[in-house]
Structure formats: structure tokens, C-alpha cells
């Protein structure tokens, strides 16, 4: 149970995707029960997969760190367990009506050299084929400099006038959500200033920004348990996105795959190892984006895609299509 960016996932040979929430639901002859393990570190479930000649089948749960602290709930049927876990953890935020409509997205448009033109053609295609559409998710190609992607930047070759492009979408009634990632590559034009501002997850040995592989190079992750990191993020969401005509944020790649044991978070003034609170970073990233959107448009319901936790409409963090071959297929 841990968050991974499973690029190249194969349904037939790899582990199930998105094993994020340690909540086990079991149906019995007399009803159903659920166990929620209140632990934020990586964990493992053994649901009878181990065979022992001298013992009956058993299940077990193991966490890398922390306490064995869990909640038990019972119900007559499995479907009745879901409301109970939501009462415990919190419901998703109430989303705007337009979020229920068709939402377009493709990396092709923003990766193209003439990205702005490609996006405007998409609007024309909707009209030509009378396809109803309420929103579009702007992939990270709008942030490229060379072959790399730099969050909170705009490629002005692809988008000479970003507000003109976003204005066309707004006039058509299409809401734009822009992809953002919680890490800056070490070659990012903002990296040096961000490091000096102390907004990154650090290493306990040196106090310097912790680095790991991230989308084409080494980068450092924003620490959302540090008020400086939260404010830096909110400022950039406001000035680089909302002021450019973007209404919503696509909070992507928030797995925080820094596997060094000395990666340390500010912990709101109480330093804590990242291993102990890794999923909290994704939750707080979404809260920071939510607050930036709400502050910019207090009369509107903020919508974030995608994310984790009660500040967003909860969906899987990396949408995709999985093809499972039939049994016996090569």
C-alpha cells in the first residue's frame, strides 16, 4: 500500500494500481465488516496468500512505521460500509455542476509546437460535430522548455498570448483545468530562489533540498507542511494560472517518491520524516490549490482534478485505460 507513478503499467503482470487507502472490506455469511488502518506509512496486506502446512489460512497487515491503530465497522451489506468510512474520513467537496459534464483532455495538443492553435481547433471540432463539452484539462506540455516540463511556466512559443487562448475557451463556456506538479527540476528557472526560500522537503543530514528522479531529471518536492511552501504554491497558482484565465487545477504526480530515509518535512515547526506522512503531502497540496482558487473566486465552488482528500472531488490520481487480455492470451 503506497503511492507510485506506475508508468508502463501492465494489468497482467504487475500489482494492482492505486493502492492508497488501507481500508479492508469483507463480506461474510452474516453481513460485512470493514477495517480502516489509521496509519500513513507504507503498509502491506496478506489476504490469505501465504500457505502454511501447520496453520489455518490467515490474514495480516503490516506497516513500515507507526502504531497499529484501526477502526472497525460493521453492516448488513458491503455497500453500507462506504457511508461509514466517509463519516470517519470526510466527504468529497461539493462540486460545481459543470464538473459533471464531458471533459476533454489529451497530451497531444499541448505537446504540439502550435499548441494554442491545436486547442482552438478542438473548440471548432466540438462545434462541427455538436459535441457537448464543459471543460478541458490542459496537460503539462504548456510548461515545456526544451524537452522538460517546468511547473508554473508558460512556453511562449506555443502560447504567445496565454490569456487569448484561455479567453476563447471562456467565451465558449469551457472551463480550463491546468496540470501542475509539486516538484521543481533542479534546472527549473525558479529552483534556486525556491531553494533559498526553504520551501522544499530536505535531507536531515545536510538541511539541503532532497532530490529524486522526477519527469526527466532530478528535482525537489515542495513541502506543504511548511507554511512557506504553501504560500509559495498559492501565489503561483494565483499569478501563473488563475490570472491567466485558468479556473481549475489538475494536481498531478503527487506520489512524493523520495525513498531516502532521511527525507524530512517541516511538520509545521515539528520536523518529521517523510516516510511517516507521505500521503499528507498530496492532501495538503490539494488544500493549497483549493484555497488559492477559493480566494480568487469566493462566490464559485472550487473544483480540482484530480486529487486526494476532502478538499477535492476525489478521483484516481492518474486516469487511464487498462486493457486486460482474456485468459490464455499471450
Do 107 and 200 have their domain in common?
Answer: yes
Residue 319 has pLDDT above 70, yes or no: no
Per-residue confidence (pLDDT) for residue 314, from 0 to 100 = 38
Last residue of a domain, one of 41, 63, 89: 89
**Residue 16 is assigned to a structural domain of this protein:** no
**Residue 322 is assigned to a structural domain of this protein:** no
Do 188 and 229 have their domain in common?
Answer: yes
Do 256 and 161 have their domain in common?
Answer: yes
Please, which residues have CB within 8 angstroms of residue 34's CB and are 6 or more apart in sequence?
Answer: 23, 24, 25, 26, 72, 73, 74, 75, 81, 84, 85
Do 276 and 155 have their domain in common?
Answer: yes
Per-residue confidence (pLDDT) for residue 307, from 0 to 100 = 53
Do 105 and 200 have their domain in common?
Answer: yes
Do 83 and 163 have their domain in common?
Answer: no
Instruction: List Cα–Cα distances, 124 to 130, 218, 243, in angstroms.
Output: 10, 39, 25
Per-residue confidence (pLDDT) for residue 38, from 0 to 100 = 92
Per-residue confidence (pLDDT) for residue 19, from 0 to 100 = 66
Per-residue confidence (pLDDT) for residue 18, from 0 to 100 = 65
Query: Domain range spanning residue 115?
Result: 97-296
When pLDDT is averaged across residues 9-13 and rounded to a whole number, the result is 78
3-class secondary structure, 194: helix
When pLDDT is averaged across residues 19-38 and rounded to a whole number, the result is 91
Number of domains in the chain: 2
**Residue 233 is assigned to a structural domain of this protein:** yes
Last residue of a domain, one of 38, 70, 89: 89
Cis peptide before 89 (omega within 30 of 0): no
Give which of 142, 136, 151, 143 is closest to 303, Cα–Cα. 136
**Residue 48 is assigned to a structural domain of this protein:** yes
Per-residue confidence (pLDDT) for residue 321, from 0 to 100 = 43
Amino acid at each position: 500500500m503506497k503511492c507510485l507513478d506506475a508508468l508502463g503499467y501492465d494489468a497482467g503482470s504487475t500489482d494492482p494500481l492505486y493502492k492508497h487507502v488501507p481500508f479492508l472490506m469483507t463480506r461474510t455469511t452474516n453481513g460485512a465488516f470493514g477495517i480502516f488502518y489509521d496509519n500513513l506509512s507504507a503498509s502491506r496486506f496478506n489476504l490469505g496468500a501465504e500457505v502454511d502446512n501447520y496453520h489455518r489460512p490467515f490474514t495480516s497487515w503490516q506497516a513500515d512505521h507507526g502504531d497499529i491503530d484501526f477502526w472497525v465497522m460493521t453492516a448488513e451489506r458491503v455497500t453500507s460500509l462506504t457511508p461509514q468510512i466517509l463519516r470517519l474520513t470526510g466527504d468529497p467537496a461539493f462540486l460545481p455542476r459543470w464538473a459533471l459534464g464531458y471533459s476533454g483532455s489529451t497530451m497531444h495538443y499541448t505537446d504540439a509546437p502550435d499548441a494554442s492553435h491545436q486547442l482552438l481547433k478542438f473548440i471548432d471540432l466540438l462545434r462541427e460535430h455538436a459535441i457537448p463539452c464543459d471543460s478541458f484539462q490542459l496537460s503539462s506540455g504548456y510548461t515545456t522548455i526544451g524537452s522538460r516540463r517546468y511547473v508554473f511556466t508558460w512556453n511562449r512559443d506555443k502560447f504567445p498570448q496565454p490569456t487569448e487562448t484561455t479567453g476563447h475557451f471562456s467565451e465558449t463556456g469551457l472551463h480550463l483545468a491546468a496540470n501542475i506538479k509539486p516538484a521543481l527540476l533542479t534546472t527549473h528557472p525558479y529552483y534556486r530562489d525556491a531553494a533559498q526560500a526553504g520551501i522544499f522537503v530536505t535531507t536531515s543530514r545536510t538541511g539541503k533540498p532532497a532530490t529524486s528522479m522526477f519527469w526527466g531529471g532530478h528535482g525537489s518536492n515542495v513541502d506543504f507542511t511548511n507554511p512557506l511552501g504553501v504560500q509559495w504554491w498559492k501565489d503561483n497558482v494565483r499569478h501563473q494560472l488563475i490570472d491567466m484565465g485558468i479556473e481549475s487545477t489538475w494536481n498531478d504526480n503527487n506520489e512524493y517518491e523520495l525513498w531516502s530515509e532521511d527525507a524530512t518535512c517541516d511538520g509545521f515547526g515539528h520536523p518529521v520524516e517523510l516516510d511517516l506522512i507521505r500521503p499528507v503531502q498530496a492532501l495538503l497540496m490539494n488544500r493549497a490549490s483549493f484555497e488559492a482558487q477559493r480566494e480568487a473566486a469566493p462566490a464559485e465552488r472550487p473544483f480540482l482534478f484530480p486529487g486526494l482528500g476532502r478538499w477535492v472531488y476525489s478521483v484516481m490520481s492518474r486516469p487511464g485505460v487498462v486493457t486486460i487480455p482474456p485468459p490464455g492470451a499471450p
